[in-house]
Amino acid sequence: MKNYGITCILFLITFLSYSQTFDQKIEDLINENLDETIELRHWFHQNAELSNREFKTAARIAEELKKIGYEPMTGIAKTGVVAILNPGKPGPVVGLRADIDALPVKERADIPWASKMKGVYNGEEVPVMHACGHDMHTAILLAAAKILYEIKDEIPGQVKFIFQPAEEGAPPGEEGGAELMVKEGVLKNPDVDAIFGLHVWSGLYAGQVYLRPEGIMAAVNEFRIDLKGVQTHGSTPWTGKDPIVTAAQIVNSLQTIVSRSLPLTEAGAVVTIGSIHGGVRSNIIPEDLYMLGTIRTLDNGMKATVLKRLEEIVHNVAKSNNIESKITYLVSYPITFNDPYLYEEILPTLERVNGKKNVHLMKAITGAEDFSYFQEKVPGTYFFIGGQKPDVDLSTVAPHHTPDFYVDDSAISTGIRSMIGLTLDYIYNN
């Protein structure tokens, strides 16, 4: 017991000495590299690319990593890039992840580095922009990789930098994202002990950090409903079988799942139909129709109930209208679950490097993240950083996935500081 106490005291002295030495050193390095990081962020923003099509983005990431001194691995999960700091060095292994894909959205933000990119989505040419901040995530992780490389000899462990494609979902018929990365072994060789990820948020002020233990973001189940009837003239609907009326009844009935089948005092849930396609003229009842929807849940038991009720409602309402029905499940992410033990370990780090008053406990949200696939395999923590200047009225800020989405460069330092602090503290503590 006496030896154990001495060991603990020596460790504490070493750790305090380490943190005092490194925090200021890291801050200096962040400031030295900030202009370059901002320029990279703007380049990624201007060259936005869709999921599994991030070819220029991946090439630039690999190029920057090589300039630093890494030997990046490319083509991971189609267009992902991975690099390892201190390969083979004994000690803990930390994974740091950034998502790199953009969205089929036309940018309206009045900035000189706005995206003019185009891509193909669902067979159509569409405008592409970073409407969710992944450009900033990528720049932050590259900056962290550069700074950690500069002090690599002082780090008793390894760091695996994971630049992940297709967080927004792979194109139909393709695999992608974190799920495919895990399947291809990205958490192995070396085996990752803990993984960290972040997300900039347009509705929060820069310098602020938000997180929580356990479920922080919802599970998502996206689906397609196909309805097949019999086409006929709109003036004689009794001579056909109407998928339009059936779809209307299904949409209304699906809204009763949350309000009538779930214990909402336990956790939130959402069922949304976001797209309906059917018909070409006002006087033609079409033969078929399809709808696209999403389910968000924060409890696995409630998720099972929603999926069961979805099947019952769709098929029974369709049958009552003599309509054939089919449900196809598309994108599916588990709950983004912050390991509670890891959370307790790393919370003091975030408070130390960002200031305790700037780190906040948040409520779970119904957005979803495929970072959850990493967390299914190893302990992980996911957190949010603010993206607006302090003089901005947050009630006027455009939400994510919209044409006017914007996050300010002033958020970058918080992201770099947090990712590096978590990495170093975890390696030194374990």
Catalytic residue numbers read: 101, 167
Contacts of 292 (CB under 8 A, 6+ apart): 222, 223, 224, 225, 273, 274, 275, 330
Q: Is 120 helix (H, G, I), strand (E, B) or coil?
A: strand
Radius of gyration, CA atoms only, the chain: 24
Using the structure block, give the residue that is written with the tokens 């389910």: 295
Task: Tell me the residue type at 86.
Answer: N
Cα–Cα distance, 266 to 286 (Å, whole number): 42
Are 291 and 225 within 8 A, CB to CB?
yes
Extended strands (E) in 167-281: 194-205, 209-211, 214-217, 219-228, 232-233, 269-277
Q: Is 40 helix (H, G, I), strand (E, B) or coil?
A: helix
Tally of CB atoms within 10 A around 93: 24
Cα–Cα distance, 405 to 107 (Å, whole number): 8
Cα–Cα distance, 58 to 99 (Å, whole number): 11
With b for 16 or more beta-carbon neighbours within 10 A and e for fewer, the 263-283 pattern comes to: eeeebbbebebeebebbeeee
Helices (DSSP H) in 50-133: which residue ranges? 55-68
Please give the C-alpha separations between residue 375 and each of 279, 320, 380, in angstroms, as whole numbers: 43, 43, 5
